[in-house]
Every structure is written in structure tokens, then in C-alpha cells.
Amino acid sequence: MKKRLGPTTDLMPMPALLVAVRTGEDEANVLTVAWAGIVGGQPPMMALEIGSGHYSTPFIEREGNFTVNVPASTQVVGVDYCGMVSGREDPTKAATCGWTFLPSTKISSPLIAECPLNFECQVVRKVEASQGAFYLVEILETHVDEKVLKENKIDALLVDPLIFTPDGKYYRLGECLGKAWDVGKVLKK
Ligand SMILES: Cc1cc2nc3c(=O)[nH]c(=O)nc-3n(C[C@H](O)[C@H](O)[C@H](O)COP(=O)(O)O)c2cc1C
């Protein structure tokens, strides 16, 4: 039996990401974003929903860019903090979480050094939405910690990304079930 829930956002899992935007000379703010995902590959594109009332939003508008930082599951406390506390209350959220910034190579907003994977993103389109806007961004550069590389490729288990589910919980990756474009071959006629 199925129960109808109406329109919901109950897609799962979602990535728990940290968006960092330049707020001033050697200053940046960090907010947690889970409504985000890759939406294109050539060039690499991401879409994110960001509320209009956030402290970060005018800075995103001004800079036209931000970094998307993939935290490890061990960074869960800081991720939750950056999603609960506004930069209006704590303008140095990254420092509170024990994180530091590194300069990006192509945009003004910095990378979070302690996150194993970082994307430099340029806003290319904005679609107004009821609570904010959908930002379509082009990924101009990717940075990865060497220690999460296996045979020169990013190893998801080594990244150990933090996962968010719409019931309001955090998880880490589970077991690998096989290779994509491969396990389904057993059903091929
Ligand atoms: C798990 C989680 C996911 C979140 N996802 C989003 C999101 O996708 N978009 C958004 O605008 N805010 C999201 N938030 C809320 C913001 O991170 C939060 O309001 C934050 O304090 C805004 O920071 P700022 O005011 O310093 O910009 C999320 C919060 C949490 C805890």
C-alpha cells in the first residue's frame, strides 16, 4: 500500500556541503547546503538552492562565485553548526569549527582547507524561487587531498563524505554494491 504525501523534498540521500563565500579582505562565511547536485558534465555544472534571508546571500550576489566544499563525515559537528548559526551571529564560523581557508585559483571565494574535496564555482544563472534562488554554477576547478586518491582517482570511501537525509539525520557511506555500468550486465539479453 502506498500513502500519498503530496509534493515533498524527500529525495535521499543528499550531500551535506559547505558553501564558502568571500565576505571581505581575507574573510569568508560558510553555510551548510544540502539541496544541491551535479546537473551537467560538459562543462561540469551544479545547481544549489540558497535562501534569500541568509547572511551569505548578498555576498554570493556581489562576488558571483563561491566554493562548494565536501566535508568528511568526521566534520559533522561543524557542518551542523554552520547550518544552524548565521554569520550574522558568528562572522568567523570556520574558525569556530577549527577550519582554515586557502585561496582559490580562479575565483575570489576561498576553499576550506580541511575538506577533502573542493570545487571553485562561478554563478552562471539564477532562477528566483519562493524562499530564495536556484543558483546554476559552473565548476571552474576541483581540488582534492592527495590522501583520498587511489591510483590517481578520487576514492569515495577515502573521501568519507557526509550524507544528509530528509528525516534530518547525517550518515556516512555504506558498503560498495558493485561497479556502475557493470552489475546490471547480468540482465542483458
Ligand atoms: C543539513 C542542513 C542543510 C541545509 N541546506 C540548506 C540549503 O540547501 N539551502 C539553504 O539555503 N540553506 C540550507 N541550510 C540552512 C543554512 O545552512 C543556515 O540557515 C545557515 O545558518 C545560513 O548561514 P548564513 O546566514 O551564515 O549564510 C541547511 C542547514 C542544514 C543544517
Nearest CA to ligand 1 atom 31: 83
Report yes or no on 70 lying in a domain: yes
Report yes or no on 174 lying in a domain: yes
Express each pLDDT in 22-69 by its tens digit: 999 999 999 999 999 999 999 999 999 999 999 999 999 999 999 999
Which residue, chain included where needed, has cell 590522501? Answer: 147
Mutate to test the pocket of ligand 1, among 19, 29, 54 (most ligand atoms within 8 A of CB): 54
Report yes or no on 118 lying in a domain: yes
For the chain, the domain total comes to 1
Q: Which domain holds residue 40?
A: 14-187
Express each pLDDT in 140-157 by its tens digit: 999 999 999 999 999 999
Residue type at position 186:
V
Query: The domain spanning residue 123 has which CATH number?
Result: 2.30.110.10
Long-range contact set of residues 153-160: C-beta below 8 Å, sequence gap at least 24: 154/117, 158/116, 159/70, 159/72, 159/116, 159/117, 160/72, 160/73, 160/74, 160/116
Report yes or no on 1 lying in a domain: no
Express each pLDDT in 76-97 by its tens digit: 999 999 999 999 999 999 999 9
pTM for this model (two decimals): 0.98
Count of CB atoms within 10 A of residue 127's CB? 10
Q: Which residues pair with 132 in a beta bridge?
A: 51
Contact 22, 63 (CB under 8 A): yes
Nearest CA to ligand 1 atom 5: 33
Report yes or no on 152 lying in a domain: yes
Report yes or no on 3 lying in a domain: no
